[in-house]
Homo-oligomer: A and B are copies of this chain.
Amino acid sequence: MCHCQGVPSVSQAPIRQNSVRAHNLALVLQTVANSADPISRASVAGATGLTRSTVSALVDDLIAGSLLTEVDPAPRTGAGRPAAGLRPAPDGPAGLGLEINVDYRAACVVDLTGTLRHRLVEAGDQRQAGALSALTRLAALARHRAEADGLTVAGAALAVPGLVAAGGVVRVAPNLGWQDITIGTELDGLPLTVDNEANLAALSELGVGELPPSFIYVSGEVGIGAGIVLDGSLYRGVRGWSGEIGHIPIDASGPLCRCGARGCLEQYAGQEAMLRAAGVTSVAELAGADLTIAGTALGTALSTVVNLLDVDTIVLGGIYAPLVARLRDAIDAEIGRRVLTGSPIRLRAATFGPDAAMRGAAGAVLQGVLNDPAGWLARS
């Protein structure tokens, strides 16, 4: 019948008075969290558009719930009563970030201030049976230490190098040899989310520096994956399988790829291809090699991504992070040639290096609290 008006863009849920408070609690909490320095109630009111009295009431709730704390007033500027500074509480909820990869498992705890409180890494081949229960033990240890600090772990997120479907099901993780492994949505009573390693690594960059609203995080490992952040939030795709850029065709007559096609990106910029081209055996040795071939292939593939999505920032992570200086020229040249709009692209190395996925996982948990502090406060 009526075609043209499209699907609703207003969220499906009704707004009641409760939702107003929930929204404004999140607004106040995030305003404090995104401020570099301690910030006063009055400044929060100014930044959000809420009145000072409303902010005071909301802040009272947030302090009572250990989401904010008052700190000593910032150095004062002029006349007037000195402000009480607000900061995210260092002793409230914390995020438990987990990662499992081919040759290590890891867990970390990050508090609301963004501080890494604990970091546990265990090397070793994870392609064995029992890897998951070892990870569970590691997670329990990290949680125990966090709770000894007075933190309350709000949830856990696990980064996996593979395709993850809803409900914590790993459809396939080729390098781990996993297929249709159900990890579930709970870990020792803690809510658990499982997500692709590149997606969570991309989240770790959100909030770093100048906050680009949209960017692509490219994760170079054995395969090549991408985390796509659009307008400030991670885009996961219909089934959660976005960002598979490893098989963008570079040259139809190129080398045969394990996927069956010829000349995929992975055959030029994948870990093994780069090692082979450079004639070395370890990733560390790549720092001294000529990476023009890989850089050009990456630039070609990223041109397609930029032409399609019009993003202006690309973050290189995984094995690429320490190699950005050597890759930049070839990538820039190719993007300059192929991106029609001539947009300048900012290319930068991942901030957290090998910890990116784990840090992003912990950050994802904390995001949940920041986006719904009312739900956190209402927990029994």
Taking Cβ atoms with an 8 Å cutoff, the residues of A that contact B are 1-10, 12-17, 19-20, 23-24, 26-27, 30-31, 33-34, 36-37, 48-50, 88, 95, 110, 112-115, 163, 171, 203-204, 206-208, 211, 213-214, 226, 228, 230-233, 235-245, 247-253, 259-261, 263, 300, 304-305, 307-312, 337-338, 340-341, 343, 351, 359-360, 362-363, 366-367, 370-371
Contacts and interface: CB of A to CB of B under 8 A. Distances in A.
A206 to B, nearest CB: 4
Nearest to A370: B5
Given A2-B113, A2-B114, A5-B114, 7 more contacts: A5-B34, A8-B31, A10-B23, A13-B49, A163-B341, A239-B343, A253-B253
A8 B36 contact: no
Contacts of A211: 7
Contact of A24 (B15, B213, B338): B15
Contact of A308 (B115, B203, B233, B308): B308
Contacts of A338: 247, 249, 259, 261
Contacts of A232: 6-9
Nearest to A232: B7
Copies of this chain in the oligomer: 2
A interface: dominant SS? loop
A36 B240 contact: no
B241 A341 contact: yes
A351 B304 CA distance: 28
A244 B341 contact: yes
A42 to B, nearest CB: 15
A14 B2 contact: no
A70 B371 CA distance: 39
B226 A308 contact: yes
Contacts of A307: 244-245, 247-248
Contact of A309 (B23, B237, B362): B237
Contacts of A9: 232-233, 367, 370-371
Contact of A244 (B115, B242, B308): B308
A27 to B, nearest CB: 6
Contacts of A360: 4
Given A48-B14, A238-B310, A309-B237, A248 B304 contact: yes
Q: Which of A15, A19, A33, A360 has the most CB atoms of chain B within a 10 A radius of its CB?
A: A15
A379 to B, nearest CB: 19
A207 B312 CA distance: 31
Nearest to A361: B4
Contacts of A312: 238-239
Contacts of A37: 1
Contacts of A259: 338, 340
A261 B337 contact: yes
Contacts of A3: 114, 204, 207-208, 351, 359, 363
B359 A242 contact: no
